[in-house]
Amino acid sequence: MKLDSHCNPREDEVTGMKKDLSSIQQMIRNAAKQAREDTQSEPEPEKRQPPAWPLDCTVGPGLEGAIACESRIGYVNGAKGWLVYRGYDIFDLAANATFEEVCYLLLHGRLPNAVELAQYKETLFSFMHLNQTLRILIGFPLENMTVMGGLRLGTNLMRQEFTEMDLVKTRPKLANAIGADEDSIAMETAPLGYKRATFEFKIKHSGRRKTDPKPRGHVFEESSAIDTCYHLIAGVSTIIGAVARVHQGKLPIAPDPDLSHAGNLLFMITGRKPSPVEERIMDIALILHADHGMNASTFASMVVASTLADIYFSIGSGIAALSGPLHGGANEAVVRALREIGSVENVEPWVENKLARKSKISGFGHRVYKVYDPRARILSPLAGLLTNVEDSSHLLAIARKLEKVISKSELTRQKKIFPNVDFYSGIVYSCLGMNEELFTPLFAASRVAGWTARVFEYIQNNRIFRPRAIYTGEFNNQYLPIQNRS
């Protein structure tokens, strides 16, 4: 498959590209069919009614098992391998939608019509121009920062260029809000849920303080608030492009109006217009990573937003949480492991050694999915489409063999360990010409859609997050003057 820049493709090339794009769609449909077949014995979930708060649930350390809120945005079913955004199956969205449509869907609760999509794309594109932010940002020593570090900084700087919080009329009113440090709920008291909730944000310009959590299903349409989300979705990609360019010793470049959001993300990083196939594969990768339940970075964004802090700081917290290797960095580890394995012949001894030492193998296993991760099912065949880059085809051959060896091992047979999204995403990004330090920023470029959507859903019925810790320390210690301490 030819992947050079296609500025003026010949007619036969256009036919070839269309074929390539429809073959991508077919690959995803095949993956969906396989997924359905593999998990048909698992029961289908039923639509849930909103629960009556407070709820009883079993909570583990790290809030495992805790139910913090209701959401209509996304759903993950680990037994069936389902990932659903606003009721739409991820396979359906990856095969048919664009990232722009998916962002709109997550934020507004429904797919846009043609006029809405055109307007949304226009706004998104205009928000990609972050002149003031970039002018300040490139004054910082970006070359000494990671791309994630630059992104974190840049997101906070974006606030100066655009923020509804600076407009006094839209500032939340603090009367009756529960303060962060106020232990208004005694340690021994059960959580009261909605009875004590404070609602600070207006619904549909009503200007009325909302005291009843019902009716549900309202979508936050306050235009300046939605624009802030669009601004963040657009700006995160621009900043990643700018920092990546500085790392290459080059100046940031402006987005191209002829490219999609995914195309511009690649263009602003590499300076080369992607081929339609590359653009579509990046688009699909963005769709697949846009939302995934109450993961750590989404939760971090929501916690900060629940204090009624500025949304730029809230999304900055999501970026910070994502930067940790336990969350955003597993795909880098996969590519490093494939390089360490070095050859297809070395896969079996490498796996044996890992299993004997009880080491974890990156790119396998998932906290929620106990079947093949649907995102990995989609990325796996796509990785095979882009292996014209020499190193990548070598890595893919090792990855295919690794998957085969693991599938026959005790990991899959007994522990239900399958490839997760990170197993193939790193290879896909490598094939798209991205170096490893860009893998987590690319994740952020997508997940910002989920962060903003979930934050705005949550603040409609906001209640500040305030879990408790069980104090296992001592009591009645006597204060000793410093000279008496050993």
Stretch touching ligand COA by CB under 6 A, among 54-62, 190-198, 314-322, 419-427: 419-427
Contact flag: residue 267 with ligand COA (CB under 6 A): no
Strand partners for 89: 84
Q: Which of 74, 109, 252, 363 binds ligand COA (CB under 6 A)?
A: 363
User: Rounded to the nearest whole angstrom, what is the least distance from the CB of residue 186 to ligand COA in the complex?
Assistant: 33
Tell me, yes or no, if 422 is annotated catalytic.
yes
The backbone torsions φ and ψ at residue 284, rounded to the nearest 5 degrees and listed phi first, read -65, -40
Q: Per the residue annotation, which of 89, 327, 391, 394 is the catalytic one?
A: 327
SS3 label, residue 370: coil
User: Rounded to the nearest whole angstrom, what is the least distance from the CB of residue 89 to ligand COA in the complex?
Assistant: 19
- Of 19 and 415, which has the nearer Cβ to ligand COA? 415
User: Rounded to the nearest whole angstrom, what is the least distance from the CB of residue 320 to ligand COA in the complex?
Assistant: 18
Helices H / strands E in the chain, number of each: 18, 3
CA-to-CA distance for 274 and 2, rounded, in angstroms?
11
The amino acid present at 290, given as its one-letter code, is A
- Of 361 and 442, which has the nearer Cβ to ligand COA? 361
- Of 310 and 332, which has the nearer Cβ to ligand COA? 332
CA-to-CA distance for 19 and 22, rounded, in angstroms?
5
User: Rounded to the nearest whole angstrom, what is the least distance from the CB of residue 469 to ligand COA in the complex?
Assistant: 22
Alpha helices in 248-346 (DSSP H): 261-270, 276-289, 296-306, 311-322, 330-341
User: Rounded to the nearest whole angstrom, what is the least distance from the CB of residue 354 to ligand COA in the complex?
Assistant: 7
Strand partners for 82: 77
- Residue 253 and residue 242 in contact, taking contact as beta carbons nearer than 8 Å: no
CB atoms within 10 A of CB 485: 6
Stretch touching ligand COA by CB under 6 A, among 2-10, 159-167, 210-218, 415-423: 415-423
Contact flag: residue 366 with ligand COA (CB under 6 A): yes
CB atoms within 10 A of CB 148: 23
Cβ-based neighbours of 226, under 8 Å, separated by 6 or more: 107, 108, 220, 456
Identify the H or E element spanning 75.
strand 74-77
Stretch touching ligand COA by CB under 6 A, among 26-34, 65-73, 294-302, 354-362: 354-362
User: Rounded to the nearest whole angstrom, what is the least distance from the CB of residue 339 to ligand COA in the complex?
Assistant: 16
Locate 22 and state its tokens. 């429809």
* Residue with smallest beta-carbon separation from ligand COA: 365
- Residue 91 and residue 378 in contact, taking contact as beta carbons nearer than 8 Å: yes
Stretch touching ligand COA by CB under 6 A, among 66-74, 180-188, 379-387, 410-418: 410-418
CA-to-CA distance for 426 and 363, rounded, in angstroms?
10
- Residue 234 and residue 242 in contact, taking contact as beta carbons nearer than 8 Å: no
CA-to-CA distance for 56 and 59, rounded, in angstroms?
9
* DSSP secondary structure code for residue 63 in this structure: G
Q: Per the residue annotation, which of 292, 310, 366, 373 is the catalytic one?
A: 366
Interface with ligand COA: number of residues (CB under 6 A): 15
Alpha helices in 128-209 (DSSP H): 131-137, 147-161
- Of 283 and 422, which has the nearer Cβ to ligand COA? 422
- Of 32 and 411, which has the nearer Cβ to ligand COA? 411
User: Rounded to the nearest whole angstrom, what is the least distance from the CB of residue 441 to ligand COA in the complex?
Assistant: 17
CA-to-CA distance for 439 and 432, rounded, in angstroms?
11
Closest CA to 69 of 477, 475, 484, 461: 461
Stretch touching ligand COA by CB under 6 A, among 2-10, 102-110, 411-419, 445-453: 411-419
Q: Which of 106, 128, 290, 361 binds ligand COA (CB under 6 A)?
A: 361
Contact flag: residue 421 with ligand COA (CB under 6 A): yes
Q: Which of 131, 166, 415, 467 binds ligand COA (CB under 6 A)?
A: 415
CA-to-CA distance for 132 and 127, rounded, in angstroms?
12
Contact flag: residue 364 with ligand COA (CB under 6 A): yes
- Of 108 and 289, which has the nearer Cβ to ligand COA? 289
- Residue 127 and residue 223 in contact, taking contact as beta carbons nearer than 8 Å: no
User: Rounded to the nearest whole angstrom, what is the least distance from the CB of residue 298 to ligand COA in the complex?
Assistant: 14
- Of 204 and 415, which has the nearer Cβ to ligand COA? 415
User: Rounded to the nearest whole angstrom, what is the least distance from the CB of residue 420 to ligand COA in the complex?
Assistant: 4
Stretch touching ligand COA by CB under 6 A, among 167-175, 191-199, 207-215, 356-364: 356-364
Angle at 117 between CA 113 and CA 118, to 5 degrees: 120
Cis peptide before 43 (omega within 30 of 0): no
- Of 19 and 360, which has the nearer Cβ to ligand COA? 360
- Of 350 and 364, which has the nearer Cβ to ligand COA? 364
Contact flag: residue 417 with ligand COA (CB under 6 A): yes
Cis peptide before 252 (omega within 30 of 0): no
Residues 276-335 that bind ligand COA (CB under 6 A): 330
Q: Which residues are catalytic?
A: 327, 366, 422
Residues that bind ligand COA (CB under 6 A): 330, 360-367, 411, 415, 417, 420-422
